[in-house]
Amino acid sequence: MLSYLFIGGSFLLYIGIAVWARAGSTKEFYVAGGGVHPIANGMATAADWMSAASFISLAGLISFIGRDGSAYLMGWTGGYVLLAMLLAPYLRKFGKFTVPDFVGDRYESNTARIIGVACTIIISFTYVAGQMRGVGIVFSRYLHVDINTGVILGMAIVFFYAVLGGMKGITYTQVAQYCVLILAFTVPAFFLSAQVTGHILPQIGLGATLETGQSVLATLDQLSMDLGFAQYTTGTKSTIDIFCLTVALMCGTAGLPHVIVRFFTVPRVKDARTSAGYALIFIALLYTAIPGVAGFGRVNLIQTLNGPDNAGTEYAAIPDWFKNWENAGLLAWNDRNGDGKIQYAAGSAFDSKGGKPAFDDGADPRGEMGQRLATNALVGAEFDATKQPFANEVYVDRDIMVLANPEIAQLPAWVIALVAAGAVAAALSTAAGLLLVISTAIAHDLMKTVISPNITDKQELMYARMAAVVAILIAGYFGINPPGFVAQVVALAFGIASASVFPTLMLGIFYTRMNTQGAIAGMLVGLLSTVGYMWYFVFGGGDPADYFMGISPGGFGAVGLVLHFVVAIVVAKFTPPPSEEMQRIVADLRIPRGAGEAHAH
């Protein structure tokens, strides 16, 4: 009941704000009228940037892969520093509020603008798929509907405040969403830290000494090794893969179109820098708590499922949280040795989510969805209880860890309800920003600038809203049919942004000689190489053993980034330079004077 109250109350708040801040002009729809206070913009930027991947998936990802998850922490936070220092103020001074608009004007080419539109749309749709999936996961558990129905409900909510309110409605909605999501993440984090370590701050909890005399990290290492997993603090990824993934996430963050546009909602260039600083503080409140939440959740999960002696727990003795998540389709038990005990260890209890069970003793006490998952698992290696007395029997969806943590730890019901509301806020805030970027790219950068320059403001606003509706429908489809778990899907979007948008912006600001031909060649090479590599290994059945230099699809954006820079600079060297006027404008961008109104040209 509390979950319904918290989630329903937050929906009413967001829709109320959207109606109050309804956009009445294209400027209000695209950049909230340009009059947002830097602190409010910092909160909105933090909410826009901290998506379902940050709130729902990142701690779960780190819970399962340990040290390898550090690439996500370093990449996403470091990337925001890059954005704040190297891009935001200069883009704001240039005076173009979308990536395609900047690309089209800076490189004096509608062809470059159209490629910029394509990059923006591909990035945004890849990113928004993860957000809609996150909404579906939350609704499936707390509103007791299936994930697909949850995605559809999320689409309906986003429709109200993204299509009606535009950037003005989204900005003030995101301020409220930030307040909800930061409370929803930090309150249970304080509870978990105090419960596991005796320290209230999760930021220092991982190093705390437990009753066993070991730190949380040492305990995780020991538990992981006992159960056959890789050591928590060692990981399995190669150094070059970790490095490339970090670079791709970092540069991808700095090239995200829906975050860049936020720096045009403030009155002055100086305010863009200030709001970037505030946003970094607001983001740090959550990101510094993530490693602790991941560690505490992993310890609780292992100890709850396997018991203190690692001998497994009777299914009948498992608390309600396990059965609740079974029924949501995100957790399942396959009793491979028929002993009635849940045994969680390394290895796959299910080869996939389709086929027949790897072992079936005829008895199935699970919930309906858990039973469906188990009986739909492909036949695996033949199980021999005499040789494998402790095989893995549990399927755990990585995306449930943050949401299930309060239930596993038996925290108060209001904390569980608060987490649900926060997860919805995180997913919807980013989804709305991405959908607005898609509609802006189509209505402003394509229709108004390239196809029909003579359309009125009213017609442009109509096209923007129509594009937002179509974008919501497509986003819902990807939410129902996602290519992976939330953080994985989002990492692909960052890799594409890293290879296509980031170098174009950097060269456009810091390399006066960069011209149209170089920009177009660089964008095409970066985009096509990265998307092709990702498509082949994620969807095309490519063998991970064939990875280029051992670099996974999420990290290939770093290779695409290098290819983009090299191709763009070489082509620019052998083709005519940009106009003298554009060279003067670019040189002027980096001069500190004029830190007032945006440069007009």
Residue 338 per-residue DSSP state: S
Query: What's residue 359's pLDDT?
Result: 33
Which of 210-224, 504-518, 547-561 bottoms out in mean pLDDT, i.e. has the lowest? 210-224
- Confidence band of 507 (pLDDT split at 50, 70, 90): very high
Within 8 A by CB and 6+ apart from 309, the residues are none
Region 477-487: mean pLDDT is 66
pLDDT digits (tens, 9 = 90+) for 412-423: 888 888 888 887
Cα angle 138-295-230, degrees, rounded to a multiple of 5: 105
Distances (CA, A) of 601 to 34, 273, 585: 18, 22, 8
Residue 282: how many CB atoms within 10 A of its CB? Answer: 21
Query: What's residue 522's pLDDT?
Result: 94
Within 8 A by CB and 6+ apart from 79, the residues are 249, 250, 251, 252, 253, 254, 494
Longest dimension (CA), the chain: 79
pLDDT digits (tens, 9 = 90+) for 276-301: 788 888 888 888 888 888 888 888 88
Do strands 313-314 and 331-333 pair parallel, antiparallel, or not at all (unpaired)? unpaired
Q: 211 vs 469, which has greater pLDDT?
A: 469
Does the pLDDT of residue 558 top 70, yes or no? yes
- Confidence band of 491 (pLDDT split at 50, 70, 90): confident
Does the pLDDT of residue 27 top 60, yes or no? no
Q: What domains are there in the chain, each with its CATH number? A: 2-241+256-296+411-483 (1.20.1730.10), 307-402 (no CATH)
Which of 158-162, 191-195, 369-373, 509-513 bottoms out in mean pLDDT, i.e. has the lowest? 369-373
Query: What's residue 486's pLDDT?
Result: 54
Mean pLDDT of the chain: 76
Residue 5: how many CB atoms within 10 A of its CB? Answer: 12
Query: What's residue 358's pLDDT?
Result: 35
- Distance between CA 281 and CA 277 in Å, rounded? 7
Query: What's residue 373's pLDDT?
Result: 40
Q: 592 vs 563, which has greater pLDDT?
A: 563
pLDDT digits (tens, 9 = 90+) for 88-127: 778 877 877 678 888 888 898 888 888 888 888 888 877 7
Residue 271 burial by Cβ neighbours in a 10 Å radius (0-12, 13-18, 19+) = buried
Q: Which of 300, 362, 366 is nearest to 332 (CA)?
A: 366
Q: 15 vs 178, which has greater pLDDT?
A: 178
Query: What's residue 17's pLDDT?
Result: 67
CA 281 to chain centre: 19
> pTM for the whole thing?
0.76
- Confidence band of 367 (pLDDT split at 50, 70, 90): very low
Does the pLDDT of residue 13 top 90, yes or no? no
Query: What's residue 384's pLDDT?
Result: 42
What percentage of the chain exceeds 70 in pLDDT? 80
Region 482-495: mean pLDDT is 68
- Confidence band of 573 (pLDDT split at 50, 70, 90): very high
Q: Which long-range contacts (CB under 8 A, 24 or more apart) does 305-312 make?
A: 305/342, 305/343, 305/344, 305/394, 306/227, 306/342, 306/343, 306/344, 306/345, 310/226, 310/227, 310/390, 311/341, 312/339, 312/341, 312/342, 312/343, 312/390
Does the pLDDT of residue 575 top 90, yes or no? yes
Q: Are 316 and 341 in contact (CB under 8 A)?
A: no
Instruction: Choose from 15-19, 209-213, 375-379 the range with maximum mean pLDDT.
Output: 209-213
Region 248-273: mean pLDDT is 78
Distances (CA, A) of 445 to 157, 439, 440, 450: 26, 9, 7, 7
Query: What's residue 568's pLDDT?
Result: 95
Beta strand ranges found along 104-233 (DSSP E): none
Do strands 394-396 and 331-333 pair parallel, antiparallel, or not at all (unpaired)? antiparallel
Query: What's residue 152's pLDDT?
Result: 83
Query: What's residue 382's pLDDT?
Result: 40
Residue 24: how many CB atoms within 10 A of its CB? Answer: 12
Query: What's residue 519's pLDDT?
Result: 92
- Confidence band of 518 (pLDDT split at 50, 70, 90): very high
Query: What's residue 21's pLDDT?
Result: 56
Query: What's residue 601's pLDDT?
Result: 45
- Confidence band of 173 (pLDDT split at 50, 70, 90): confident
What percentage of the chain exceeds 90 in pLDDT? 8
For residue 256, give both structure tokens: 């995200």
Does the pLDDT of residue 60 top 70, yes or no? yes
Does the pLDDT of residue 565 top 90, yes or no? yes
What is the residue whose two structure tokens read 């964008």?
523
